[in-house]
């Protein structure tokens, strides 16, 4: 049974269809996301930054229900502020990820959001944690959101251990571009955040600056036939 | 009349019991499906086609060495995905129709003709069927061609086409690694790599990689066993 177009935004809520990705390198992490927020078939925000700070050097990437993801990020931001005052120093990335996981797990039946947590701390350096459905796992890289299905093959093939900062940034931009090209719920611009011991670098790559991949309709059509 | 209605009601009750009944294993109530990853690539002089080899009934792997590359004519093959029964029946019907047509013409049929026959059947019976088919081969007029007939019955020609449940995971890999003008060896490596990546991520795809290379000279079949698949650093 199909709903009418008019109730798409209200009953389904705002979804960040999304592609998000985070990858660690020696000395830091790179996080990336697209910028599309959709309500049914409508794009309600085409320039949304889904990389949300949890602390100075810890960011999270939001996907799934926009309201759920933003609320989790805000709550964890507050909890981390309190925690960092209590311990008297910058919090660990694992602490931030654990706080996210605690909320995701406790309210897993009501929530529909997946956050990837990435950051730098002086104990373990750059780290990426996935918190899907209430688990917590540290991984060299993580992808999430509806667009991530289309790039599993690409990231499996292209990932190599011990990539440099520059290579990681290119890896993230390429992955986001490929996913945005195939996933209807992902699109717009690509946001990048690079975190290391020095600080945080935020970058926005516009649509026309994204890498181009082979597109048959742009190249010459099929060669002439012989009868 | 009343007896039939009562019987129908009774069987409805039984089947709703069966859904959660541990006495009946999952695979006795599930249709056989070629979960699948299938792929075909054109090169100058022919096509390379590839498929995994897993057929599932629910969570049970009914056949782990399936051949999803089915000959339709001497130099035309198809890759099948979706319901195993539906795709086998369609392929048999098209093989018959194309063989008859080829005798009438007294020459080898065009790949486009085979693809059109698939499309006619998949579109006409779209409500009853669950079939995603890639038709590929070589003919005198246009050389190597790949046509895709996804669920619903559309027909389009593409230089490279992927299909099946595992194809979602390799769109990024295919988009970034395909270049026009690849030769036969590059196409083989490309296909084997893509299928391997999909098989690692998709639970409905797995087993061995079966390939077919179709050129003017004929058809060459290859198999890549599990331990010979290309290695990627994360998988």
Structure tokens at B57: 């009934």
Q: How far apart are CA A8 and CA B192, in angstroms?
A: 41
Q: Which residues of B touch A176 (CB under 8 A)?
A: none
Residue A225 pLDDT: 54
Q: How far apart are CA B119 and CA A220, in angstroms?
A: 26
Q: How far apart are CA A110 and CA B191, in angstroms?
A: 42
| Mutant choice from A153, A161, A213 vs B, greatest count of B C-beta within 10 A | A153
Instruction: Give the start-end residues of each E strand in A8-50.
Output: 15-16, 20-25, 28-33, 37-39, 42-45
Q: At A86, is the pLDDT very low, low, confident or very high (cuts 50, 70, 90)?
A: very high
CA distance B179 to chain A (A): 7
Q: Which residues lie across from A201 on neighbouring strands?
A: A194
Residue A167: how many other CB atoms lie within 10 Å: 15
Cβ distance A154 to B168 less than 8 Å, yes or no, reads no
Torsion from C-alpha of A77, A81, A83, A85, nearest 10 degrees: 170
Nearest residue to B26 (alpha-carbon basis) of B54, B61, B53, B51? B61
- What DSSP character marks residue B181? T
Q: How far apart are CA A62 and CA A70, in angstroms?
A: 7
A116 touches A31 (CB < 8 A): yes
What pLDDT tens digit does each residue of chain B (235 aa) get?
Answer: 554 444 444 444 444 444 556 777 777 777 776 689 999 999 999 999 999 999 988 889 999 999 999 999 999 999 999 999 999 999 999 999 999 999 999 999 999 999 999 999 999 999 999 999 999 999 999 999 999 999 999 999 999 999 999 999 999 999 999 999 999 999 999 999 999 999 999 999 999 999 999 999 999 999 999 999 999 876 5
CA distance A196 to chain B (A): 24
Cβ distance A152 to B141 less than 8 Å, yes or no, reads no
Q: Which residues lie across from B38 on neighbouring strands?
A: B51, B163
Cβ distance B232 to A152 less than 8 Å, yes or no, reads no
Q: Which residues of B touch A185 (CB under 8 A)?
A: none
Query: Quick check: ipTM above 0.95?
Result: no
Query: Under 8 Å CB-to-CB from A135, ≥6 apart: which residues?
Result: A101, A105
Residue B134 pLDDT: 98
Q: At A5, is the pLDDT very low, low, confident or very high (cuts 50, 70, 90)?
A: very low
Q: How far apart are CA A24 and CA A152, in angstroms?
A: 17
B52 touches B142 (CB < 8 A): no
Nearest residue to B207 (alpha-carbon basis) of B38, B53, B35? B53
B4 touches chain A (CB under 8 A): no
> How far apart, in Å, are the Cα atoms of B180 and each of A93, B44, B184?
44, 10, 12
Vertex A166 angle, CA A165 and A167, to 5°: 95
B129-166 pLDDT per residue, tens: 999 999 999 999 999 999 999 999 999 999 999 999 99
Q: At A12, is the pLDDT very low, low, confident or very high (cuts 50, 70, 90)?
A: low
- What DSSP character marks residue A89? S
Which of B4, B28, B36, B196 is catalytic? The answer is B36
Which residues 113-152 in chain B show a CB within 8 A of chain A? Answer: 140-142
Which residues 179-198 in chain A show a CB within 8 A of chain B? Answer: 179, 181-182
| Mutant choice from B172, B192, B196, B197 vs A, greatest count of A C-beta within 10 A | B172
The owner of tokens 């709903």 is A3
Considering only the beta carbons, identify the residue of B141, B159, B173 that sits closest to A153. Answer: B173
Q: How far apart are CA B27 and CA B207, in angstroms?
A: 19
Q: How far apart are CA A212 and CA B131, in angstroms?
A: 32
The owner of tokens 């051949």 is B67
Cβ distance B141 to A226 less than 8 Å, yes or no, reads yes
Cβ distance A216 to B233 less than 8 Å, yes or no, reads no
A32-81 pLDDT per residue, tens: 999 999 988 899 999 999 999 999 999 999 999 999 999 999 999 999 99
Cβ distance A150 to B176 less than 8 Å, yes or no, reads no
Cβ distance A151 to B178 less than 8 Å, yes or no, reads no
Cβ distance A182 to B175 less than 8 Å, yes or no, reads yes
Residue B30 pLDDT: 75
- What DSSP character marks residue B83? E
CA distance A88 to chain B (A): 38
Q: At A15, is the pLDDT very low, low, confident or very high (cuts 50, 70, 90)?
A: confident
Cα-atom radius of gyration of chain A, to the nearest Å?
A: 19
Which residues 189-228 in chain B show a CB within 8 A of chain A? Answer: 193-194, 197-198, 200-201
Q: How far apart are CA B11 and CA B23, in angstroms?
A: 17
A217 touches chain B (CB under 8 A): no
Residue B106: how many other CB atoms lie within 10 Å: 6
Give the three-state DSSP class for B165.
helix
């Amino acid at each position: 049974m199909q709903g009418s177009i008019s109730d798409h935004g209200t009953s389904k809520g705002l979804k960040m269809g999304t592609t998000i990705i985070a990858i660690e390198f020696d000395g830091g992490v790179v996080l990336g996301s697209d910028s599309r927020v959709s309500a049914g078939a409508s794009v309600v925000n085409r320039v949304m930054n889904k990389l949300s700070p949890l602390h100075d050097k810890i960011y999270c990437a939001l996907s799934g229900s926009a309201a759920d993801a933003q609320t989790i990020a805000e709550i964890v931001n507050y909890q981390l502020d309190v925690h960092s005052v209590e311990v008297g120093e910058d919090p660990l990335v694992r602490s931030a990820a654990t706080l996210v996981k605690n909320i995701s797990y406790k309210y897993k039946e009501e929530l529909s959001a997946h956050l990837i947590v990435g950051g730098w701390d002086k104990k373990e350096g750059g780290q990426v944690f996935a918190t899907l459905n209430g688990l917590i796992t540290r991984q060299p890289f993580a992808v999430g959101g509806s667009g991530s299905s289309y790039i599993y093959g690409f990231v499996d093939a292209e990932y190599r251990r011990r990539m440099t900062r520059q290579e990681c940034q290119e890896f993230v931009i390429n992955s986001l571009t490929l996913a945005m090209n195939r996933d209807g719920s992902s699109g717009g611009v690509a946001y990048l955040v690079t975190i290391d011991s020095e600080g945080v670098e935020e970058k926005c790559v516009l649509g026309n600056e994204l890498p181009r991949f082979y597109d048959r309709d742009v190249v010459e059509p099929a060669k002439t036939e012989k009868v | 009349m009343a007896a039939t209605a009562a019987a129908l009601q009774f069987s409805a009750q039984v089947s709703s019991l069966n859904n959660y009944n541990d006495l009946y294993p999952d695979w006795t109530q599930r249709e056989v499906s070629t979960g699948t990853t299938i792929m075909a690539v054109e090169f100058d002089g022919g096509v390379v086609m590839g498929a995994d080899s897993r057929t599932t009934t629910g969570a049970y792997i009914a056949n782990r060495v399936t051949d999803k590359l089915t000959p339709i004519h001497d130099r035309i093959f198809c890759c099948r995905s979706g319901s195993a029964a539906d795709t086998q029946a369609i392929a048999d019907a098209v093989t018959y129709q194309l063989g008859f047509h080829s005798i009438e013409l007294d020459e080898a049929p065009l790949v486009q003709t085979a693809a059109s026959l698939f499309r006619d059947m998949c579109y006409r019976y779209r409500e009853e069927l669950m079939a995603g088919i890639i038709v590929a081969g070589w003919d005198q007029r246009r050389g190597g061609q790949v046509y895709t007939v996804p669920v619903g019955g559309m027909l389009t020609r593409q230089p490279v086409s992927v299909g099946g449940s595992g194809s979602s995971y390799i769109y990024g890999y295919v988009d970034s690694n395909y270049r026009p003008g690849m030769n036969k060896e590059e196409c083989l490596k490309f296909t084997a790599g893509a299928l391997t990546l999909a098989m690692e991520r998709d639970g409905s795809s797995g087993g061995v990689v079966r390939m077919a290379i179709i050129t003017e000279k004929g058809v060459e079949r290859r198999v890549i066993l599990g331990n010979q698949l290309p290695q990627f650093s994360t998988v």
